[in-house]
Amino acid sequence: MPAEYFTEIRTWVFDLDNTLYPPEIRLFDQIDQRMTAYVMQTLDVSAPEADYLRKKYWAEYGTTLAGLMRLHDLDPLPYLVAVHDIDFSVLTPDPDLRARIAALPGRKIVYTNGSAPYARRVVEARGFDGLFDQVYGVEDAGFRPKPERAAFEEIFARDGLETDCAAMFEDDPRNLAAPHAMGLRTVHVAPEPDPAPHIHHHTDDLAGFLARLLR
């Protein structure tokens, strides 16, 4: 992982879930459960059917919410409040990762398919408050989700980000395809690498990866 590939980077874009906290915390399991319950109530279906639809919509539309909006005309705002009403106490501060992100030159932003208020709570619980220049949620992209290119275009335009001087860190490999096509350097943050050609780098240790960039 040559650090010279990042010498021109001036904007650092971080996904949230399973990127700014390790996946073994399993925070998103709580959201999965609440999404299934919301689908059950909204569509009046059984738990197995709701769970099936949750996964199907995520696979086909990028998020469960996107499928519900497109196929069932769901109001997204109550949904986002309900599914993110979870226990944040499983998150702990990470001073090492905070220091590594703080040392990066330029702007640091968070961009998630979750809501911005939820993202801010995660950021705070991880001890990252005051660290990021901006936090963007799915509502800031007009409820269009990653991996849609239009969603990235909306967020990057809003932020004033120059794509050829930016890098994106993300746990879902499909969400790195559009950033790659737009000229960003892409970093897959996950336990196992993905061989997709739109992924430039992989790490299972974000703090360690960033530390090597700053040597």
Separation between Cα atoms, residue 49 and residue 78, nearest integer Å: 21
Same domain, 58 and 36: yes
Q: Taking the CB of residue 23, how many other CB atoms lie within 10 A of it?
A: 16
Same domain, 144 and 69: no
Separation between Cα atoms, residue 11 and residue 32, nearest integer Å: 31
The pLDDT value given to residue 95:
98
Residue 93 has pLDDT above 80, yes or no: yes
Q: Average pLDDT in the 48-72 region?
A: 97
The pLDDT value given to residue 119:
98
Please say which residue of 42, 57, 83 terminates a domain: 83
With bands split at pLDDT 50, 70 and 90, how would you rate the model's confidence at 59? very high
With bands split at pLDDT 50, 70 and 90, how would you rate the model's confidence at 117? very high
Same domain, 164 and 59: no
What is the domain extent for residue 71?
Answer: 27-83
Same domain, 119 and 168: yes
CATH number at residue 59: 1.10.150.450
Domains contained in the chain, number: 2
pTM as predicted: 0.96
Please say which residue of 38, 59, 83 terminates a domain: 83
With bands split at pLDDT 50, 70 and 90, how would you rate the model's confidence at 40? very high
The pLDDT value given to residue 208:
96
Separation between Cα atoms, residue 75 and residue 87, nearest integer Å: 24
Q: Average pLDDT in the 202-206 region?
A: 97
The pLDDT value given to residue 3:
87
Secondary structure in 3-state letters for 16-80: CCCCCCCHHHCHHHHHHHHHHHHHHHHHCCCHHHHHHHHHHHHHHHCCHHHHHHHHHCCCHHHHH
| Ordered strands of the 201-203 beta sheet | 134-136, 107-111, 11-14, 166-170, 185-189, 201-203
Same domain, 103 and 175: yes
Structure tokens at 169: 């860190």
Same domain, 75 and 117: no
Same domain, 72 and 163: no
With bands split at pLDDT 50, 70 and 90, how would you rate the model's confidence at 154? very high
Same domain, 74 and 157: no
Closest-CA residue to 159 (of 193, 126, 136, 190) = 136
Q: Average pLDDT in the 19-43 region?
A: 97
With bands split at pLDDT 50, 70 and 90, how would you rate the model's confidence at 211? very high
Residue pair 152/15 in contact by the 8 Å Cβ criterion: no
CATH number at residue 193: 3.40.50.1000
The pLDDT value given to residue 2:
66
Q: What percent of the chain has pLDDT over 90?
A: 97
The pLDDT value given to residue 11:
98
Same domain, 178 and 127: yes
Same domain, 170 and 150: yes
